């Protein structure tokens, strides 16, 4: 790796982790257009840590409120609190991801799968946004809705789907507002990113891949975190005005570009 690769990959991670446009689609495109070597597991961990710090910082007030003792006075209160909903909603992807990670890695990480998923789930996002606009009322998040969104999140194991894209689409289908669906998607990213980082760190040390360039490691954390904070703030401020159509068009074009260059 060099400094340019570090900066570019960190910016891509910071942007695409939270926008509904698929980080894997962008990374495969960059890989095909450049002769860069594989960045390695350690740098992947750095990028995930950067985006994790970003979402923790941006939602620090909500997270502080979630952790207050009043939400844990009973099991029922705990499960139906926002923290409880997030934990329950995360279980499906943790279970399925743990069981089928090797299958996904060996069979689905192809350019054609990524391009097809980018296009197909982009259309799903458009249909979800259209459905939300046609509703007369907006529903509130509940344990049942959170679990359904968590089940949809399992589809993000397919490269090119976009974790934020499929969870926002699920929220819109279920009647959440654009902002509420997006906020829940971003909060739902916290345990998912933690789980991914733990898994990658385990692989790193299990395979004795402990060669880390700490300058690039911490630079990746800093850049991806900074870009992710700006991305979250921009998206939540504009999502009601711009809707999902620009991201749908972008996803379809991106998928077509990947198909044309493979």
pLDDT digits 0-9 by tens, 98-151: 888 888 878 888 889 999 999 999 999 999 999 888 876 778 899 999 999 999
Beta strands in 147-248 (DSSP E): none
Which range (45-49, 84-88, 203-207, 250-254) has the least confidence? Answer: 203-207
pLDDT range class, residue 234, cuts 50, 70, 90? very high
Mean pLDDT along residues 176-185: 94
* Number of domains comprising the chain: 1
CA distances from 217 to 5, 18, 45, 111, 201 (A): 12, 21, 9, 27, 13
Torsion of CA 55, 249, 134, 92, to 10 degrees: -40
pLDDT band at 208 (very low <50, low <70, confident <90, very high): low
Q: How many Å apart are CA 33 and CA 16, to the nearest integer?
A: 18
- Residue 153 token pair: 């999140």
Q: Residue 209's pLDDT is what?
A: 56
Domain that holds residue 225: 3-261
210 pLDDT more than 70: no
| CB-count exposure of residue 74 (10 Å: 0-12, 13-18, 19+) | exposed
Q: How confident is the model at residue 85 (pLDDT cuts 50, 70, 90)?
A: very high
């Amino acid at each position: 790796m060099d400094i340019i690769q570090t900066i570019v990959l960190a910016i891509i991670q910071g942007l695409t982790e939270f926008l509904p446009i698929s980080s894997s689609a962008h990374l495969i495109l960059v890989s095909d257009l450049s002769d860069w070597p594989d960045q390695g597991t350690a740098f992947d961990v750095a990028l995930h840590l950067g985006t994790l710090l970003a979402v923790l910082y941006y939602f620090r007030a909500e997270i502080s409120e979630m952790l207050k003792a009043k939400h844990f006075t009973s099991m029922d209160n705990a499960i139906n609190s926002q923290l409880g909903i997030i934990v329950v909603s995360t279980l499906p992807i943790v279970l399925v991801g743990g069981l089928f990670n090797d299958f996904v890695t060996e069979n689905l990480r192809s350019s054609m799968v990524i391009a097809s998923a980018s296009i197909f789930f982009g259309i799903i996002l458009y249909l979800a946004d259209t459905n939300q606009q046609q509703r007369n009322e907006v529903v509130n998040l509940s344990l049942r809705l959170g679990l359904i969104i968590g089940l949809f999140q399992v589809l993000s194991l397919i490269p090119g789907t976009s974790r934020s894209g499929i969870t926002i689409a699920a929220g819109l289908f279920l009647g959440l507002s654009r902002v509420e669906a997006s906020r829940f998607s971003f909060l739902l990213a916290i345990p998912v990113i933690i789980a991914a980082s733990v898994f990658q760190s385990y692989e790193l040390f299990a395979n004795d891949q402990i060669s880390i360039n700490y300058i690039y490691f911490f630079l990746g954390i800093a850049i991806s975190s900074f870009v992710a904070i700006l991305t979250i703030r921009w998206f939540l401020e504009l999502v009601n005005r711009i809707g999902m159509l620009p991201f749908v068009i972008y996803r379809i074009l991106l998928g077509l570009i990947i198909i044309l260059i493979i």
